[in-house]
């Protein structure tokens, strides 16, 4: 199916829910027939950005690379999803300008909850001083000021956060039916049916 490309950009601290939500958005869109590609920070660091570390310079390089690939995909009508901490506001905003069709999702969660969750066991190590330059502990994180979507993952279920994202994408017209050569009513319905089946709507 033909559809407009855009970039869905997740930002937030480690363990806030970026990958969890990005993977589900990708799977739902894919199943519904959209062309979609996910660039996850942890995966990108094993290939596209292999060898880069966690200095400010290397972090910026990593995020700009992800942004550039999202730009290439989006302009070719692929939905690009990025899920990386992307701690610096000016870098995110630069990518927003480069891409234009850019939807920022802030996965927001208080540090206490993340330390409690400690999905990868990294906070324990960072707090013990075993890992340097850990975002939120010993390295900065600049919250988005105007994210299109803010998911509060300490208060919402995954389903609720996911529904918020889809509602916004629809409101912005990225998943809207045109009845013409773009999205058809059937395609739009396929997304809704899938969300409903999963209990998200």
Ligand X SMILES: Nc1ncnc2c1ncn2[C@@H]1O[C@H](COP(=O)(O)OP(=O)(O)O)[C@@H](O)[C@H]1O
Q: What is the DSSP letter of 135?
A: B
Q: Where does this chain touch ligand X (CB under 6 A) — which range of 10-18, 65-73, 91-99, 171-179?
A: 10-18
CA 79, CA 39: separation in Å to the nearest integer?
A: 11
**Helices and strands per DSSP (H, E), number in the chain:** 8, 5
CA 26, CA 21: separation in Å to the nearest integer?
A: 9
Q: Applying CB under 6 A, which of residues 7, 9, 15, 105 lies at the interface with ligand X?
A: 15
Residues in region 119-178 near ligand X by CB under 6 A: 119, 151, 153, 156-158, 161
Given ligand X, Mg ion, none, residue 49, with its beta carbon under 5 to 8 Å by kind, binds: none
Binding map of Mg ion across residues 1-30, x = CB under 5 A, - = no contact: -----------------xx-----------
Which is closer to ligand X, CB of 100 or CB of 119? 119
Q: Where does this chain touch ligand X (CB under 6 A) — which range of 14-22, 49-57, 180-188, 193-201?
A: 14-22
Please identify which of the residues 86, 138, 161, 177 carries the catalytic annotation.
Answer: 86
Q: Please say whether the beta carbons of 84 and 49 come within 8 A.
A: no
Q: 98: exposed, middle or buried (C-beta count within 10 Å: 0-12, 13-18, 19+)?
A: middle
Q: Rule CB under 5 A: say whether 86 interacts with Mg ion.
A: no
- Cβ neighbours for 25, distance < 8 A, ≥ 6 positions apart: 8, 81, 162, 165, 166
Footprint on this chain of Mg ion (rule: CB under 5 A): 18-19
Active site members:
86
């Amino acid at each position: 199916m033909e559809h407009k490309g855009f970039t869905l950009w997740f930002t937030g601290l480690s363990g806030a829910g970026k990958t969890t939500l990005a993977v589900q958005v990708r799977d739902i869109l894919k199943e519904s027939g959209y062309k979609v590609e996910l660039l996850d920070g942890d995966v990108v660091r094993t290939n596209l950005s292999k060898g880069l570390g966690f200095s400010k310079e290397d972090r910026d390089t990593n995020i700009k690379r992800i942004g550039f690939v999202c730009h290439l995909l989006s302009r070719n009508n692929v939905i690009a999803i990025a899920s990386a901490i992307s701690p610096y506001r000016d870098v995110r905003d630069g990518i927003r300008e480069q891409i234009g069709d850019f939807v920022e999702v802030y996965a927001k969660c208080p540090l206490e909850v993340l330390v409690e969750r400690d999905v990868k066991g990294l906070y324990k190590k960072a707090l013990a001083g075993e890992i340097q330059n850990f975002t939120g502990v010993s390295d900065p994180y600049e919250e988005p000021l105007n994210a299109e979507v803010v998911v509060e993952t300490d208060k919402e279920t995954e389903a609720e956060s996911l529904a918020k994202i889809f509602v916004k994408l629809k409101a912005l017209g990225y998943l809207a039916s045109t009845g013409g050569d773009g999205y058809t009513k059937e395609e739009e319905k396929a997304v809704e049916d899938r969300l409903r089946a999963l209990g998200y709507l």
